[in-house]
Structure 1
Amino acid sequence: MRKSLTLIAAGLCLAGAPALAQTAPPPPAPHPAYSGRVITLAEAKSVVAAAEAVARKNGWSMVITVVESNGAVVLSEKMDGAQYGSEEVALKKARTAANFRRPTSEFQNAVKAGTLNAIFTGAMAIEGGELLLVDGKIVGAIGVSGGSAPEDGIVARAAAATLR
């Protein structure tokens, strides 16, 4: 009798296992893939020029950094009057976007929502880092710093849009 109850209990546990597996949440949407090529210097110059134009139009002094998809710096520009600390921040924003294949604003939003610890190793959780895409594939990233997070994001998104 005892063996029968044990077998029945084991059978019920196994029978419930597939139902649990079916209730798992769907995987997150895939982020853009790497293209196999990196942003060229000419492309980086056009992206930085677009970023600078938006910043100047709004009276913002910023640091603008473009990296390859592996995080290597292609071009960095410090506008007159930009704060010195923004150089490192712009670089970290660009590398975060490239390394994690998503805009830094996604990390910022996750911190605000309480779904990500603010001290997430290796990522800048603040707006201003955007992927640079050509034909929907990652060729690099841009990081902008010097204004508020929303201002940095405005400039980075406008610049990134020049390549798409």
Structure 2
Amino acid sequence: MTGQAARRAEPALDDDAAALLAAKAVELAKASGLRVAAVVVDAAGQVVAVRRQADSYPTTYHIALAKAFTSANFGRESGEMGRLLAGVERGIHITQADDRLLFIDGGCALVRDGVLVGGIGVSGASADEDLACARGAVEHWVTSR
């Protein structure tokens, strides 16, 4: 084939939706007085959008990315994977095989029409608070489409 490169018909998770997801997660955090970062990745775990409050810890980005990556990789909440692997000997081997995985609450899978399209991760508060912000952003995304 010569000429123009082939283009995808439609991105599974477009940049506008990803930006809105990240912004909503941070908005929810701010409303609760929390300082967080939110990262949205596509189904391959590649970053599509980031929103980090300037006064959040510098490490919040990396932790949120790991939660988002874990959720996109497994199609589940990041903390749920941790609970599923608890007590499973091979769980330790999974984390040793890919250090981008993080099995604590705060990451949610993004599913459109039954298809995994990515993940969102939030970090900076408690794991429960991070998860509430991620879930709230996902709920907003699902109901506003």
Using structure 1 for the length normalisation, give the TM-score. Answer: 0.71
Partners of 2:23 and 2:51 within 8 A in 1? no
Greater Rg by CA: 1
Output the amino acid matched with 1:67.
V
Are 1:158 and 2:132 an aligned pair? no
Q: Secondary structure at the match of 1:162?
A: helix
Structural RMSD (CA): 1.8
Are 1:114 and 2:87 an aligned pair? yes
Partners of 1:60 and 1:146 within 8 A in 2? yes
Q: Secondary structure at the match of 1:83?
A: coil
Residues in 2 aligned to 1:138 and 1:145: alpha-carbon distance in whole angstroms:
22
Partners of 1:144 and 1:152 within 8 A in 2? yes
Output the amino acid matched with 1:151.
E
Using structure 2 for the length normalisation, give the TM-score. Answer: 0.79
Match of 2:76 in 1: 102
Match of 2:21 in 1: 47
Question: 1:51-97 CA deviation, whole Å, 9 max, x = no partner?
Answer: 12210110001010001110111011111211011111111111111
1:49 deviation in Å?
A: 2.1
Query: Percent identical across equivalent pairs?
Result: 34
Change (3 A) 1:162 1:136: farther
Match of 1:11 in 2: none
Question: 1:7-57 CA deviation, whole Å, 9 max, x = no partner?
Answer: xxxxxxxxxxxxxxxxxxxxxxxxxxxxx9421011012211211221011
Partners of 2:122 and 2:133 within 8 A in 1? yes
Match of 1:86 in 2: 60
| Count of matched residue pairs | 128
Which moved further from structure 2: 116-125 or 69-78?
116-125
Residues in 1 aligned to 2:55 and 2:93: alpha-carbon distance in whole angstroms:
30
Output the amino acid matched with 2:107.
G
Question: 1:104-132 CA deviation, whole Å, 9 max, x = no partner?
Answer: 01123235x53464674132110011011
